[in-house]
A = this chain, B = another copy of it.
Amino acid sequence: MADRQPIGKAELARQLREFIDPHYVIEDAETQKVYECDGLPMYCATPLLVVVPETVDQIQQAMRVCHRHRIPVVARGAGTGLSAGAMPVSDGVVLSLARLTRIVDIDPLARSARVQPGVRNLAISEAAAEHGLYYAPDPSSQIACTIGGNVAENAGGVHCLKYGLTVHNILKLEVITVAGEKVTIGSEGLDTAGCDLLALMIGSEGLLGVVTEVTVKLLPVPQRAQVVMAAFDQVQTAGAAVGEVISRGIVPAGLEMMDSHAIKAAEAFCGAGYPVDAKALLLCELDGTREEVQQGIEQVEHLFLRLGATATRVSHDEAERALLWKGRKSAFPAVGRIAPDYYCMDGTIPRSQLARVLAEIDTLAEHYSLRVANVFHAGDGNLHPLILFDASVPGEFEKTEELGGRILELCVAVGGCITGEHGVGIEKIRQMHVQFDEVELAQFRAIKSAFDAGGTLNPGKGIPVLKRCQEYRALDARASLR
């Protein structure tokens, strides 16, 4: 950025206040504090300024000011991301989309909703409920996280096995380019002429543009949902059962697995009735019409028992279903009680490798003298190893981070992928060199340049700009543990 036109923080703030309510151009360190990291607080930084525009027009103007002066821009939703994708850069602006919270339109006939990026994930389903419709992707953070952030990270959730990730549930985006121009990407029809940029934009972590409106698909709320829980005395047996369910053509709404550490922690936390001596627990939910769910649940329960489940339990009403899920849904905070800190990893493997990878994670954990609890979307092979550690012990986070990296590399080695639903952000940028070769990375960089030649959109995230993995070792992105 040699040709950057120099501009001080005060002058930048002045220019932005010409069209944004002065109160929402945040300069003071205290108010900025909440913006210094996302849901992965190990990575944090203080930005130059935080701006919280109210309209798309203000966003366009802010983008133009930043573009003119080559100021980096980091867009931000609710900050619940888990890969430091929304971490500020110290010489840049954080562009919070928190005030764009309008549900513009719900079209029950077309089964779609047009919403602003700051609308919370769950708020879409709440608004669509009167039409018997809902928005399917359901990240654990759905009460808080925004659809804009979901689009940025291609968020997933328990029900993505059947209904897909964010990328499979978005029809159209309105995007502001780095130069402040407004473009429409995607359409409400099946096909769209020209380059299909929709999937490229989804999961691009704010590197290609700023999303200012999202048209999502809505689905009819299923008549019925039922869950079967199965306990196993071996992780291997549970892993094999997952493969068996899928290969029989059953498409569960969700198929989740928890290991011994996670079962114990969850049960102690909320008393869902989990068998605490089990080595692995599967939760398999089916949804659809009454008849098909009933038939399917019987089939799955029978299958689990035949494949060695030591106990099963089927939900018979909504209260029981909620109870069985309660343990799974509170597994993260539950694990938070059995260790001072935990680090949630995210990677995807072929389902056939489940048992092998879980065994290797155990071996790795032993090598690093760390404990790992596993709570994950088994049906789609999306692992979430939770590494337990104590940040107050010198060197323990570094060890944790190294183990995390080894786990991601293991995912790649078995034919999987370093992401599942949390994105790359800063967290996984080193592993991009493990996942992709130089030709592929060069292609990504060329794409990035096609949208943002100056490299001012969320610099340092998603796509490695440095040539060699090793250079990242020296990177000072991670500031300090908090």
Q: Does A124 make an interface contact (CB < 8 A)? A: no
The docked-state distance in angstroms from the alpha carbon of A274 to that of B47 is: 70
Interface of A is mostly: loop
State in angstroms the CA–CA spacing of A211 and B191 once bound together.
Answer: 20
Q: How far is it, in angstroms, between the C-alpha of A287 and the C-alpha of B447 when the chains are bound?
A: 41
**Taking the complex as formed, is A352 at the interface, i.e. its CB lies under 8 A from any CB of chain B?**
yes
> Which residues in chain A, 445-468, are within 8 Å of chain B measured between CB atoms?
446-451, 462-463
Inter-subunit contact B156/A350 (CB<8 Å): no
A196, B193: Cβ atoms under 8 Å? no
Q: Within 8 Å of chain B (Cβ to Cβ): is A432?
A: yes
Are A109 and B194 also in contact (CB < 8 A) when A417-B187, A439-B181 are? no
Report yes or no: A189 in contact with B381, Cβ–Cβ below 8 A.
yes
Interface size class of A (residues with CB under 8 A): 35 or more
Interface string of A139-174 (1 = CB under 8 A from B): 000000000000000101000100011010000000
Q: What is the 8 Å Cβ interface bit string for chain A, positions 218-248, against chain B (1 contact, 0 not)?
A: 0010000000000000000000000100110
The distance in angstroms between the C-alpha atoms of A423 and B53, with both chains bound, is 39
One of A198-206, A259-267, A320-328, A335-343 at the interface: A198-206
* Residues of B close to A418: CB separation below 8 A: 193
This chain: copies in complex: 2
Judge whether A285 is part of the interface by a CB distance below 8 angstroms.
Answer: no
Task: Tell me if A269 counts as interface (CB < 8 A to partner B).
Answer: no
Nearest CB of chain B from residue A455's CB, rounded to whole Å: 14
- Whether the pair B417, A189 counts as a contact (CB closer than 8 A) is yes
Question: In the complex, given contacts A156-B190, A195-B447, A197-B200, what are 16 additional A-B residue pairs having Cβ atoms less than 8 angstroms apart?
Answer: A109-B246, A109-B247, A156-B191, A189-B380, A190-B348, A191-B203, A193-B417, A193-B418, A193-B428, A193-B436, A194-B424, A194-B432, A194-B436, A194-B463, A199-B200, A446-B450
10 A–B contacts from the bound complex (CB under 8 Å): A109-B352, A110-B350, A189-B349, A189-B350, A189-B382, A190-B382, A191-B421, A195-B200, A197-B447, A443-B451
